[in-house]
Chain A
Amino acid sequence: MWRDSVLVAGKDLRIELRSRVVLNQVIPVAALTLVLFAFALGPDRAPMTRAAPGLFWVAVLFATVLAVQRSFGLESTEGARDGLRLSGLDPAGVFLGKAAAIALELVVLEGLLTVGVVVLYGSHVRAPGALAAACVAGTAGLAAAGTLYGALASGLRVRETLLPFLLLPVVAPVLLAGTRVWQVALGIQAGSPQDPWLRLLLVFAAVYLCLGVVIFGPLQEAS
């Protein structure tokens, strides 16, 4: 399973390095989201600073949808989906590999968005460890859930429109918990960043990673 996941992640990342879709399209869309919200909230920095954590995670969520669509779009060209099924790869390995590639792309995106939040919204990072932990746990959950729902939607003709409809409500806990941890980490709210919200992010990631390992195979065959 691990060997297969490394193989699939390597393949997806190599394709991304070659095509640069995430770099040239997904990251600019996420950055634009931040800029547009900055315009919408007006010139006063106070509301922007307060809203920064939520806007960061909204931008990450939108980017997740695009990254997942791209990841499964690769497998829908000609017979690539059949090819992946016929390859003999362990479905759990395929799931983990695709999720790992998406997660790595999202981590790069989050790094850039964090800089954007600091520059555009004037936020100050008080607890960088908590910030990073929330990003890692949240990203793992988003990538796992996204890969699972991406596989579910991949065999359907309406997958482009169906995926956000399926995925966004499911990942609402990541938006909520990620925002709460960030609010503490940016000093907007008092409290310990290790409080239940970070644990919720970890549990969400663990549940979807386990779920994906178990059901990705049947899902791949059925879709």
Chain B
Amino acid sequence: MAPAVLLRAAVALTERFPALAGVDLVVAQGEAVVLEGPNGAGKTSVLRACAGLLPVTGGEAWVLGCDLRRDRTAARRVVGLLGHAVALYDDLNVVENVRFAVRAMGADAAGVDDALGRLGLVGRLRRTEVGRLSAGQRRRVALAVLVARRPSLWLLDEPHAGLDAATRDLLGSLVAEALAAGSSVLLASHEPERAVPLADRVVSLAGGRVVGERPGGRAGGAQMGDPARAAPVRPAGPARPPGATDAPVDSPGRAAASARGGVHVA
């Protein structure tokens, strides 16, 4: 079975700046991986590259068996991206936005009501124009789009941002359900106490490349509230399936891991 994501020495440029400088990353199908790292480390760029929004100009990039170097639009119908900005139309109401997104990918709109119900977008909210909603409510609508679309690969960029405590808990349940249904999840976050318990692995990025990894909460490696200390950071290496041998870590990786207070292997 092809991995959900396979990046090998992947390079991507935003204008002339290398957003990804040789990323090696494998996400197996049904696996959840959290990307962590400082601002500008390349977390959002990895997600955008996997969504086919950022062209990969060097190395290899495969998403769900689609070669993104050859056709970066190929995987778009089967991935779902929740980015910093929500992809919604202000003048359409909640149900119209979700229905449009679901129909656009050719899916059955029958799941729209269920998705809206799960996110608490019921009653008057259903018919409210998205432009009138609060930032948190808009984010819930964007999540409802993901739930209704049921993508094979969930790409979540700071998904907890702007959500209230109850919706943050709900997000955890939605991710768990997606994983149980066989989907894969790649999640970038600055909130390890929320993100790490959802993940099988935590991959550290710095300077546009992978600099280490450690087990996540689903693998029993980290507990809520103390994610960084619960498991050692494994050094970075070329893209490999989970369980393969380690490779030496480079110095930026050590620096990044030290900055987070994590333990690294020399």
Spell out A's residues near B (CB within 8 Å).
Answer: 4, 7, 11, 14-15, 18-19, 74, 77-80, 82-89, 217, 221
Q: Which residues of A contact B84 (CB under 8 A)?
A: 79
CB distance from A10 to the nearest CB of B (A): 9
Q: Which residues of A contact B51 (CB under 8 A)?
A: 86
Q: Are A4 and B104 in contact (CB under 8 A)?
A: yes
Q: List 17 A-B contacts (CB under 8 A).
A: A4-B104, A7-B100, A11-B89, A11-B92, A18-B92, A77-B90, A78-B87, A80-B87, A82-B53, A83-B101, A85-B53, A86-B52, A86-B53, A87-B76, A88-B76, A88-B104, A221-B72
Q: Are B83 and A79 in contact (CB under 8 A)?
A: yes
Complex alpha-carbon distance, A87 and B86, angstroms: 13
Complex alpha-carbon distance, A47 and B264, angstroms: 85
Given contacts A14-B96, A15-B91, 5 further A-B contacts (CB under 8 A): A4-B104, A78-B85, A78-B88, A85-B53, A86-B51
Q: Which residues of A contact B73 (CB under 8 A)?
A: 85, 217, 221
Q: Are B129 and A11 in contact (CB under 8 A)?
A: no
Q: Which residues of B contact A7 (CB under 8 A)?
A: 100, 103-104
Q: Are A88 and B83 in contact (CB under 8 A)?
A: no
Complex alpha-carbon distance, A84 and B97, angstroms: 12
Complex alpha-carbon distance, A88 and B80, angstroms: 10
Q: Which residues of B contact A79 (CB under 8 A)?
A: 83-88
CB distance from A101 to the nearest CB of B (A): 13
Q: Are A86 and B76 in contact (CB under 8 A)?
A: yes
Contact with A along B40-63 (1 / 0, CB 8 A): 000000000001110000000000
B77 at interface by CB-CB < 8 Å: yes
Dominant SS among interface residues on chain B: loop
Identify the 3 closest CB pairs spanning chains A and B, nearest first. A83-B87, A79-B85, A88-B77
Selected from A18, A78, A87, the residue in CB contact (under 8 A) with B104 is A87
B73, B104, B106 pick with most chain A CB within 10 angstroms = B104
Q: Which residues of B contact A74 (CB under 8 A)?
A: 89, 91
CB distance from B146 to the nearest CB of A (A): 11
CB distance from A89 to the nearest CB of B (A): 5
**A78 closest partner in B (C-beta):** B85
Q: Which residues of A contact B87 (CB under 8 A)?
A: 78-80, 82-84, 86
Assess A78 versus B86: contact at CB under 8 Å? Given A19-B91, A87-B101.
yes
A7, A11, A14, A86 pick with most chain B CB within 10 angstroms = A86
B79 at interface by CB-CB < 8 Å: yes
Q: Which residues of A contact B100 (CB under 8 A)?
A: 7, 11
Contact with A along B209-232 (1 / 0, CB 8 A): 000000000000000000000000
Selected from B88, B92, B106, B129, the residue in CB contact (under 8 A) with A88 is B106
Assess A14 versus B92: contact at CB under 8 Å? Given A79-B83, A82-B81.
yes
Of residues 1 to 57 in B, which have CB atoms within 8 Å of A's CB atoms? Answer: 51-53
B52, B91, B96 pick with most chain A CB within 10 angstroms = B91
**A88 closest partner in B (C-beta):** B77
B265 at interface by CB-CB < 8 Å: no
Of residues 102 to 126 in B, which have CB atoms within 8 Å of A's CB atoms? Answer: 103-106
Complex alpha-carbon distance, A87 and B79, angstroms: 9
Q: Which residues of B contact A86 (CB under 8 A)?
A: 51-53, 76, 79-81, 87
Complex alpha-carbon distance, A15 and B88, angstroms: 12
Complex alpha-carbon distance, A11 and B51, angstroms: 23
**A79 closest partner in B (C-beta):** B85
**A83 closest partner in B (C-beta):** B87
Complex alpha-carbon distance, A19 and B89, angstroms: 11
CB distance from B131 to the nearest CB of A (A): 9
Complex alpha-carbon distance, A88 and B101, angstroms: 9
Q: Which residues of B contact A19 (CB under 8 A)?
A: 91
Selected from A4, A15, A88, the residue in CB contact (under 8 A) with B89 is A15
Q: Which residues of B contact A82 (CB under 8 A)?
A: 53, 81, 83, 85, 87
Q: Which residues of B contact A85 (CB under 8 A)?
A: 52-53, 73, 76
Contact with A along B112-148 (1 / 0, CB 8 A): 0000000000000000010000000000000000000
Complex alpha-carbon distance, A82 and B88, angstroms: 10
Q: Which residues of A contact B52 (CB under 8 A)?
A: 85-86
CB distance from A123 to the nearest CB of B (A): 37
**B103 closest partner in A (C-beta):** A7
CB distance from B53 to the nearest CB of A (A): 6
Q: Are A77 and B89 in contact (CB under 8 A)?
A: yes
Assess A83 versus B88: contact at CB under 8 Å? Given A14-B96, A88-B76, A88-B77.
yes
